[in-house]
Amino acid sequence: MTGTLYGIGVGPGDPELMTLKAARLVAGCPVVAYPQLGDTPSFARSIASAYIPDGRDEIVVKVPLGDPGGTEAAYDAGAKSIAAALSAGKDVAALCEGDPLLYGSFIYLWQRLRDRFDCETIPGVSSILAGPARIGAALAAGSERVCIVPGTLDDDALEAAIGATEAVAILKVGRHLPRLKRLIERRGLLPDAHYIERATLPNEKVLPLADVPPESAPYFSIILIARAGAAR
């Protein structure tokens, strides 16, 4: 019997936003796997840490920053270690911040393992769904539309996306913040735009985008634009 790979959404940061199912599986799986970006301790592990019993086997997928080839190799190595545990009959909880299947690191492990092993995904509260609660505004209501885009897109692709729907969620803001702010201002959408950094964590920042200095932002930041009447 081989083990099952569980892709576990641990939510945006506040451990109380983990689902009961996520907490139960993290506590029960003999092996826990998670990504670590560069040298920074794993965010996903820090969210779930209270549920990981001492002495669990842990597989750290060390993802280098700014090195696409190294990233592929890291997921290959992580998938290999996870496959060894699954082949030995152990269930593996692969932690992923937010929701695993929305820009989640879990996708890259799942793609490598789903043909060979039983896999189950446990949805999590995405950062883009935590955001509206933190700014105190609906993202969309009624027949309004929402567009979700990474801030890494070029200006033309972003302008097309931003122009297409009433509400927009931009992830992966980071060093793109000054460019994104200029683009949003150019379209006259600054009054409807909010900046949310480290949503639901104690060091969270929530600001109108207009008040955010045009400097690089941390990796864990999003911009939400809610411009329709019903959404304010």
State the virtual CA torsion across 66, 69, 71, 75 in degrees, nearest 10: 180
Nearest distance, CB of residue 60 and ligand SAM, angstroms: 17
Chain residues 93-112 in contact with ligand SAM, contact rule CB under 6 A: 97-99, 102-104
Q: Does 177 bind ligand SAM (CB under 6 A)?
A: no
Q: Does 199 bind ligand SAM (CB under 6 A)?
A: yes
Q: Edge-to-edge, what's the strand order for the sheet holding 57-63?
A: 57-63, 31-37, 92-96, 4-9, 118-122
DSSP string for residues in 191-218: GGEEEEESTTSTT-EEEEGGGS-SS---
Q: How many chain residues bind ligand SAM (CB under 6 A)?
A: 21
Label the pairing between strands 193-197 and 205-208: antiparallel
> Shortest CA distance to 45 belongs to which of 28, 60, 64?
60
Nearest distance, CB of residue 207 and ligand SAM, angstroms: 12
Which of 86, 95 has the CB closer to ligand SAM? 95
User: Are 43 and 65 in contact, with CB atoms under 8 Å apart?
Assistant: no
Q: List the one residue from 8, 25, 26, 171 that touches ligand SAM (CB under 6 A).
A: 171
Site stretch for ligand SAM (CB under 6 A), options 20-28, 56-64, 83-91, 165-173: 165-173
Q: Does 173 bind ligand SAM (CB under 6 A)?
A: yes
Residues 6+ apart with CB under 8 A from 172: 103, 150, 151, 152, 219
Nearest distance, CB of residue 218 and ligand SAM, angstroms: 8
Instruction: Provide the 8-state DSSP code for 41.
Output: P
Q: Does 195 bind ligand SAM (CB under 6 A)?
A: no
Chain residues 204-223 in contact with ligand SAM, contact rule CB under 6 A: 219-222
Which of 3, 13 has the CB closer to ligand SAM? 13
Interface with ligand SAM (CB under 6 A): 12-13, 97-99, 102-104, 126-127, 171-173, 196, 198-200, 219-222
